[in-house]
Structure formats: C-alpha cells, structure tokens
C-alpha cells in the first residue's frame, strides 16, 4: 500500500469537510482495503465513516419505506430489516460473517461491482439513494461497471426502499469469491413487477424488462417460459460463458418468482 | 500516529502508520503471532479476530480503526492457566486440525458462531465458515469439533 493518513470523524459535517478537503471515504474497507493493497488506489487521506452515529441504523418512514443509513453494516441489515425480508436475506448472504461485520450498504453502492448483491435489491425495489447533495432514483444511479451517478466526493447518506408485496433474491454463488455468478431480485408491487439482475452483464446491474412485463401480467415461473435473454452483453470468464450466464438469468428469475414472499 | 486499544484484556498502545493493518499491529507491534496471515487478500479467514465482540478479518481493517476497541485474538481464548476453551479442546479431541495454519481463524469464527447460536445445525456451521479456508482437513473434523463443542450429537456426515 502507498502511505496515507486516516481520520475518524464522529459527525457527518466533519466527514464532509474532510472529504471536501481531498479525503476519500472509508466505510467497511472490504473493497477499498484490498484495492489499496493492490496499489490500485493512491489516496492521501482516508476518512472513516464508521464512527458517525448519523450514518448508522434502519428505520421506517411515513411512506412505509425501509430507510437504511449509508454506513450500516450488512449484518445489521440482515438482523434488522425484518420489514423487508427479501432484503434482509440478501444482506445475510453477502460474502461471509467477517465481511458482513464490516461491509456497508453505502460502500457497496458507491463501488457498484458488476457482481455485487445490493445493486440488484436497490434497482428491483426502485429505491432512492439519498446523498449529502440530492436524492437519486435507482433507475438513474447505476451507470455501468464500477460507475454510478455519484460526483467526486459525494457521500451516500441513506437508501430508502419501498417495500414490495412479495419479493425474493436468488443468488447463484461463485464459491471462490462468494459473490454471485448470477443473481436475480424480483419484486412485485401493486403497480407491477420489477426484475433486476447482477453478475451477468459487463455493464453491471440491469432490469430485465421483458420479464417484468410478462410477470406483471402473470406472476408465475411459467410466465417466463420462452422469454429469451440476449447473451451478447453477458460476462464471459472461466466460471461461465455468455450462454451459460444468459441461461442462469432465466433459471434464477423463475426460482425467485416461485420463492417470492 | 498513536493508537490505543485493549487486546485480550490488556491495555496496549503503539505508534502506527495510517496504512498499518490491525493484523500487522498485533503480530509485529505486540508479537501476538497466533493470528495468521494466509492470503492477505481477504479470502481465507486465517487472520480472524474479534473486534468489540464481532468477527473481523484483521488483514482487512486498519489498526487506526481499532482505536478504543476491545480485541480478542487466539491468545486470549484459553483460560489464564492454559486450560483450553471448549472450542479449542474440541478441535484437539476431534482432530479438527492438521497443519494448524487455519486453526486460529477457525477457532475465532467458531467461537463467534456459538456465542450467537449455541446449537447450530451442520448447515449453519458450514455457512458460518464460508470465509475460513482450510487446505488440509476437508472440513469434516472441523464441523464435528464445533458440533461437539456445542454439546450436540455428531451428525452422520457424508463422505467420511
Ligand atoms: C471475501 C469477500 C466476499 C464478498 N462477497 C460479496 C458478495 O457476495 N456480494 C457483495 O455484494 N459484496 C461482496 N463483497 C464486497 C462487500 O460487500 C463490501 O463490503 C462492499 O462492496 C463495499 O462496502 P464497504 O463498506 O466495505 O466499502 P469500502 O471498501 O470502505 O469502500 C468502497 C468504495 O466506496 C466508497 N464509499 C464507501 N462508503 C461510501 C459512502 N457512504 N458514500 C460514498 N462513497 C462511499 C469508498 O470511497 C470506496 O471507493 C465481498 C467482499 C469480500 C472481501
Ligand atoms: S489473511 Fe486475512 S483473510 Fe486471509
Ligand atoms: S489444518 Fe492446515 S490449513 Fe487447516
């Protein structure tokens, strides 16, 4: 690792000031520390978000949305988001217990790994990402692999999830990394179904609109029979080629519909 | 910069850099070499310790982030007179280790599991050990040891 300083502010205002002064946010470090070790980043100063009470916790707002603060760790969501069981279950399956003790929702969304779990939950729920500057709808937030609508130094404060009638996250695990090889989040709302897929496309998380239309008309696994997934944008690597990933999208989406609750 | 924390019940402090990992502070600063570095890429869990009671990979947290925290390492698990903890004793009794390199992390992970879930199923134990890699045992004896440490009948494990 290159050398850097660490600051540990205890208020959001102090963190904002330190980041505005050229610091980079350090949340759980479960992505950033491996990145620093590989010398793929060279910050002068890291600003830990771990000791800021304003950035931790889970609540329900007046519209019934589950609101999760940016530096809330995966384990706290797994244990505490009982109002949205499919989301709690997603958090409970991220990485391993030590990753869940440190890793946070804000870090995961800022990083936007093309195989990360939270982006699928956020996009399928039509959640809203609240930053220190504005609110960003999930549909406008994910801009491609490791790319988001966040500006330089913008901090994720909170994520607000509308709670669907039923939902399910089905993760086909890549056992070496424990990330999804392909995972599908299906959420059924009164006004329609949303389907988001992670791990499959080189562009990162995306909505499968053909499946959404079919499921909005008929919420059964069979409704997805015969709906083809275009394999051309799929990731191909030693774990699976494009056709394999495209096939998994359909299989995991059907499982998610079957198991949605 | 200076850092202070409590390690295995003892107040300690030291001079560190921002980039000093907790595992390096423990091993090189405090000479507590029981916490192993297997991969240094956050994959293997050999470096698992408890930070304020929660299971953490000591290679994936900076020492500066542990300021004021209570840390338990493998050296803090046995009783002061050397009597092994229930989990440690079970690893010995059920041959839950061969080379022993992964064992400090396995014991810390198992101890944290049993604190939250005193009677885990075999599936729960395997799920909890997702982040702890062992190149020797094939895991069966580790699972048996943790089952035994939780006071449960050993399951009839597959592929014995
Ligand atoms: C072994 C292992 C297995 C894993 N398995 C999975 C998995 O199955 N599924 C999955 O989704 N993830 C997985 N992860 C990644 C994990 O979920 C990370 O915790 C997460 O991707 C990053 O969150 P963090 O809090 O650790 O962020 P950090 O590593 O601290 O930061 C990541 C990036 O986000 C920025 N950042 C952090 N917080 C904010 C904020 N509030 N606002 C703006 N920018 C911010 C940082 O500056 C940095 O650029 C795994 C990681 C490991 C090590
Ligand atoms: S050395 Fe820390 S996870 Fe392998
Ligand atoms: S006993 Fe050798 S790595 Fe586990």
Query: How are the residues of chain A apportioned to helix, strand and coil, as percentages rounded to the nearest 5?
Result: 35, 25, 40
Distance CA A93, CA A103 (A): 12
DSSP string across A234-251: B--BTTB-HHHHHHHHHH
Q: Which residue among A3, A50, A96 sits closest to B130, beta carbon to beta carbon?
A: A96
The CATH number of the domain holding residue A20 is 3.30.43
A219/chain B closest Cα distance in angstroms = 31
Neighbouring-strand partners of residue B148:
none
The residue nearest atom 12 of ligand 1, judged by CA position, is: A116
Contact A6 B62 (CB under 8 A): yes
* Mutation target vs A (from B3, B23, B51, B65; most A CBs, 10 A cutoff): B65
- pLDDT of B156 reads 59
- pLDDT of B157 reads 56
A51/chain B closest Cα distance in angstroms = 9
Burial label, A162 (beta-carbon count in 10 A; 0-12, 13-18, 19+): middle
CA distances from B11 to B6, B26, B71 (A): 4, 13, 10
Question: Does residue A124 lie within any of the structural domains?
Answer: no
Distance CA B141, CA B148 (A): 10
**Helices (runs of H) and strands (runs of E) counted in chain A:** 10, 14
CA-based end-to-end distance of chain A: 45
Walking along chain B (160 residues) 10 residues at a time, the average pLDDT comes out as: 97 97 98 97 97 97 98 97 97 96 98 97 96 96 96 65
**Domain extent for A186:** 166-259
Contacts of B26 (CB under 8 A, 6+ apart): B7, B32, B35, B49, B58, B71, B73
Closest among A54, A1, A48 to A23, alpha carbons compared: A48
End-of-domain residue from the set A47, A64, A84? A47
- pLDDT of B94 reads 95
Distance CA A130, CA A119 (A): 15
In tens, the pLDDT along B15-38 reads: 999 999 999 999 999 999 999 999
Neighbouring-strand partners of residue A60:
A66
Closest among A86, A72, A76, A94 to A177, alpha carbons compared: A94
Superfamily of domain B86-149: [2Fe-2S]-binding domain (1.10.150.120)
- pLDDT of A177 reads 87
Sheet with A24-26, strands from edge to edge, namely A5-7, A45-48, A24-26
Low-confidence spans in chain A with pLDDT less than 50: none
Do B16 and B25 touch, CB atoms closer than 8 A?
yes
- pLDDT of A176 reads 85
- Which chain B residue has the Cα nearest residue A2? B19
Tell which atom from ligand 2 comes closest to the C-alpha of B44: 4
End-of-domain residue from the set A29, A47, A65? A47
The residue nearest atom 8 of ligand 1, judged by CA position, is: A179
Pair of tokens at residue A131: 């930053």
Superfamily of domain B2-76: Beta-grasp domain (3.10.20.30)
Sequence spans of domains, chain B: 2-76, 86-149
Residues of A at the B interface, defined by Cβ within 8 angstroms: 1-6, 8, 26, 29-30, 33-34, 36-37, 46, 48, 50, 75, 95-99, 101-102, 178
Question: Does residue A229 lie within any of the structural domains?
Answer: yes
Whether the CB of B72 is below 8 Å from some CB of chain A: the reply is no
- pLDDT of A175 reads 84
Contact B19 A95 (CB under 8 A): no
Distance CA B28, CA A155 (A): 35
Domain count of the fold of chain A: 2
């Amino acid at each position: 690792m290159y050398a850097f300083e660490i600051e540990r502010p205890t208020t959001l205002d102090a963190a904002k000031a330190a980041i505005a002064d050229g610091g980079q946010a350090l949340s759980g470090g479960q992505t950033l520390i491996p990145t620093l070790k590989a010398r793929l980043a060279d910050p002068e100063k890291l600003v830990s978000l771990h000791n800021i009470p304003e950035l931790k916790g889970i609540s329900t707002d007046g519209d019934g949305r589950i609101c999760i603060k940016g530096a809330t760790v995966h384990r706290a969501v797994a244990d505490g988001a009982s109002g949205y069981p499919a989301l709690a279950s997603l958090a409970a399956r991220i990485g391993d217990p030590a990753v869940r003790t440190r890793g946070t929702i804000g870090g995961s969304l800022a990083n936007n790994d093309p195989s990360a779990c939270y982006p699928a939950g956020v996009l399928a729920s039509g959640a809203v990402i609240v930053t220190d500057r504005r609110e960003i709808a999930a549909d406008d937030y994910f801009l491609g692999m490791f790319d988001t609508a966040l500006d330089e130094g913008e901090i994720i404060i909170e994520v607000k999830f509308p709670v669907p009638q039923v939902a399910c996250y089905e993760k086909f695990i890549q056992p070496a990394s424990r990330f999804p090889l392909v995972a599908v989040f299906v959420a059924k709302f009164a006004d329609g179904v949303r389907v988001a897929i992670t791990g499959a496309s080189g562009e990162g998380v995306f909505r499968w609109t053909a499946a959404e239309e079919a499921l909005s008309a008929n919420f059964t696994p069979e409704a997805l029979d015969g709906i083809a997934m275009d394999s051309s944008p799929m990731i191909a690597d030693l774990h699976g080629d494009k056709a394999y990933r495209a096939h998994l999208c359909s299989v995991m989406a059907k499982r998610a519909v079957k198991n949605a609750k | 910069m200076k850092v202070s924390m409590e390690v295995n019940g003892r107040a300690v402090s030291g001079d560190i850099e921002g980039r000093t990992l907790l595992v390096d502070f423990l091993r090189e600063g405090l000479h507590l070499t029981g916490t192993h570095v297997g991969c240094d890429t956050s994959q293997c869990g050999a470096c698992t310790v408890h930070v304020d009671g929660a299971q953490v990979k000591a290679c994936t947290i900076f020492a500066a982030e542990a300021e004021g925290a209570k840390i338990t390492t493998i050296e803090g698990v046995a009783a002061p007179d050397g009597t092994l903890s229930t989990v440690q004793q079970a690893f010995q009794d059920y041959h839950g280790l061969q080379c022993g390199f992964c064992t400090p992390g396995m014991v810390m992970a198992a101890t944290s599991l049993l604190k939250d879930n005193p009677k885990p199923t075999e599936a729960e134990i395997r799920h909890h050990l997702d982040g702890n890699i062992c190149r020797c045992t094939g895991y069966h004896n580790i699972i048996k040891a943790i089952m035994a440490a939780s006071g449960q009948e050993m399951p009839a494990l597959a592929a014995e």
